[in-house]
Amino acid sequence: MSEKVFAESLDPSYQHGYGVLMAKVIAEHALSELGLGGAVEEMRILVDIGKPLFAVRVRLGPSLPPVRVKDCARVQEAQDGVHVYLLDETHAPSLARILRERFGGKLEQLDRWEVVVPAGEARAGELEEMVVSRPSETLLDRLLDAVQRVIPVGFRVGYSERTGNSLLLVASENPIREEWVEEVKEALRRPPSPIPPERMEAIRRRVEKAEVEAKFKEGAMPFKW
Amino acid sequence: MPGFLFEGGGYRHQEMLELVEDLGGAILQVRLVGSEVTITFSVPGEDVWAVEELARDLQGRLRRLPLLGSEIAVVSPTITRHHLPHPLCDVAEYLRREGAKTNMIGLARGPGQRICQISEEERRLIEEHDAAVFVLGNFEHCLREHKWRLFKDLSVPVVVTGGPELPSLPHAFAYISGMGRLPYRARTFTEIGKLEEVARAVERALEERRRKLEQDPPLLSPLVLKAEIERKLGEVLRGGAPFPVTPQLRGVRVKLPFSRFAERLAELEVAGHRLGEIAEIRRSVMRDYILVHLLPLSRVGAGPGLIRGAVQG
């Protein structure tokens, strides 16, 4: 996977400091925990801890298409009506909600996965095209959650800007001045400055090779599974 | 008295309990689960060999608990997910494994630089403990210039952990790097080594406090006091908190309501004295618990016992 998270300091005297590099590690963890790795194209973190100022700019990838009934269920016409057979249970709550909203008490639930829309209420083709959920809407919530995890908790004064497919959040504990936002935008126009690999390696956790105790080595036990 | 943890079979574990009692030691906790027993106890240093011998005989495991008999506050600037759970829980759990009783405390207004502060109530709560561990963040500037305000007025020794490498921090007893804001649990040898460093720093801090207390020691050990209270108030304590009488370096914390039990505790006869005469009994900031601080020998018998807080209500 190509690098997506870039962290740098706006203060030249604190370039590649521990806190800045850890912000990158924390952001990478947040993106992976919230399953945003695929949706985010680039995340840039700018820090000036003396002011103090913390800015995060996220650029999203192409927006995800809405999930329709045909993407998560099989729809079949029968004599008693249209049978909707759920295939992907992750969409079960949303699917149940939209069917309930549209058909109310007329629905008949056969079992956990199958419901019947009575004949004459809707055609199979129409049902298949109904929108179950819009991932691009929930994406923004998850994205803001990720950004909030990166920004230190004490930085409660915020400035946000959304343009096209990118989102900029500037946070501080002091009132944010216009020139700070300009400084951040100016820095964002420049390409991210690379972090020396040896500095990043020093920060990342290393898993040491452990010596296996003799009693657990192969052949040491009196029996094998 | 060094503390130990004995883990072994339930069969013949009574022998270990009897030996500890015969040696003049104190038993803190006995947990018998199924056929396994875990005994937390302390014995005089010169008699450790006898315990080791019996543990070998019973084919049990004996582990030293250097922090036994202490209550440590593990403090974080907030209780948000930025600071919890990883580093804070790791530190607290490691100290617990070393024998300490830990309490995790999240400050109400601890984060930030200019805005970080500690309230009077929080300060008093932390000072009820024997030592405090502050788990702070990753920025050197914050640690050096601002965060020391959180612990500068505390009268207990403070061990600070944070991310960057720093030789020391103002007003801190010790500073341990590499344990700042982390998005993962401590699992590798390096990370567990850092927890070990924290535990050793806390041990040094407690040792220093113990040395100061020994210059004018109390009439009896807090561990003995704990055993006495449990023996005499056993019925009341049963069914309450899991560790109802928590030992500290200067006394014990009794997890009973102050308003109902302070008088009764003061009248308790311990080592031939009323407890109210040899100890200061006051209301804890933690819930409505009772704090019993043993008075040094120089103050025992100086006058009638103090029951502070009873008037305050």
Q: Does A145 contact B at CB distance below 8 Å?
A: no
pLDDT at residue A223, as a whole number: 45
Whether A222 shows a pLDDT value over 70: the answer reads: no
* B148 and B269 share one domain: no
Q: What is the mean pLDDT of residues A190-216?
A: 79
**Binning pLDDT at 50, 70 and 90, where does residue A215 land?**
low
* B194 and B261 share one domain: no
Residue of chain B whose Cα is closest to the Cα of A157: B112
In chain B, which stretches have pLDDT less than 70? 239, 301-313
- Domain that residue B15 falls in: 3-65
**Would you list the domain boundaries of chain A?**
5-62+136-203, 67-133
pLDDT at residue B301, as a whole number: 61
Torsions phi, psi of A189, nearest 5?
-70, -30
Contact A18 B138 (CB under 8 A): yes
* B57 and B128 share one domain: no
In a domain, B240, yes or no: yes
Asked if A215 and B196 count as a contact pair (C-beta separation under 8 A), the reply is: no
* B197 and B88 share one domain: yes
- CB contacts of B82 in chain A (<8 Å) are 149, 152-153
Which ranges of B75-167 does DSSP label H, i.e. alpha helix? 86-97, 120-127, 140-145
Residue of chain A whose Cα is closest to the Cα of B111: A154
Contact B82 A18 (CB under 8 A): no
Of the three residues B196, B213, B230, the one that is the final residue of a domain is B213
Question: In this structure, which long-range contacts are made by residues A203-210, counting pairs with CB atoms below 8 Å and at least 24 apart in sequence?
Answer: A203/A18, A203/A21, A203/A22, A203/A25, A204/A25, A205/B184, A205/B188, A205/B190, A205/B191, A206/B188, A206/B190, A207/B188, A208/B188, A208/B189, A208/B190, A210/B189
Whose CA is closest to B119, among B82, B85, B75, B56? Answer: B75
**% of chain A at pLDDT higher than 90:** 54
Partner B, chain A 91-120, Cβ-Cβ below 8 Å: none
* B158 and B280 share one domain: no
Of the three residues B213, B240, B272, the one that is the final residue of a domain is B213
Of the three residues B213, B237, B252, the one that is the final residue of a domain is B213
**Binning pLDDT at 50, 70 and 90, where does residue A220 land?**
low
pLDDT at residue B84, as a whole number: 84
Asked if B117 and B147 count as a contact pair (C-beta separation under 8 A), the reply is: no
pLDDT at residue A200, as a whole number: 87
Minimal C-alpha gap between A18 and chain B (Å): 6
**Binning pLDDT at 50, 70 and 90, where does residue A12 land?**
confident
Q: Does A152 contact B at CB distance below 8 Å?
A: yes
Whether A59 shows a pLDDT value over 50: the answer reads: yes
Contact B113 A173 (CB under 8 A): yes
* B208 and B121 share one domain: yes
Query: Cα(B84)–Cα(B86) distance, rounded to whole angstroms?
Result: 6
Q: Does A32 contact B at CB distance below 8 Å?
A: no
In a domain, B286, yes or no: yes
pLDDT at residue B303, as a whole number: 47
pTM value is: 0.85
Residue of chain B whose Cα is closest to the Cα of A206: B188
Residue of chain B whose Cα is closest to the Cα of A26: B183
* B103 and B187 share one domain: yes
- CB contacts of B86 in chain A (<8 Å) are none
Mean pLDDT score of chain A = 88
Asked if B3 and B63 count as a contact pair (C-beta separation under 8 A), the reply is: no
Contact B82 A152 (CB under 8 A): yes
Q: Residue B106: helix, strand or coil by DSSP?
A: strand
* B80 and B34 share one domain: no
In a domain, B310, yes or no: no
pLDDT at residue A75, as a whole number: 93
Chain A interface, best mutation among B80, B115, B141, by max A CB count within 10 A = B141
Residue type, A49: I
Contact A154 B111 (CB under 8 A): yes
Chain A interface, best mutation among B116, B138, B176, B181, by max A CB count within 10 A = B138
In this predicted model, what pLDDT tens digit does every residue of A91-113 receive, in sequence order?
A: 899 999 999 999 888 888 899 89
Q: What is the mean pLDDT of residues A101-127?
A: 89
Q: Does A154 contact B at CB distance below 8 Å?
A: yes
HSE-up of A23 (CA within 13 Å, CB side)?
28
* B165 and B227 share one domain: no
Whether A218 shows a pLDDT value over 80: the answer reads: no
Whose CA is closest to B265, among B286, B291, B247? Answer: B291
Partner B, chain A 48-87, Cβ-Cβ below 8 Å: 49-50, 52
**Looking at the 3D structure of chain B, how many domains does it have?**
3
Cβ neighbours for B294, distance < 8 A, ≥ 6 positions apart = B218, B219, B220, B222, B225, B250, B251, B278, B279
Place of tokens 């963040």: B137
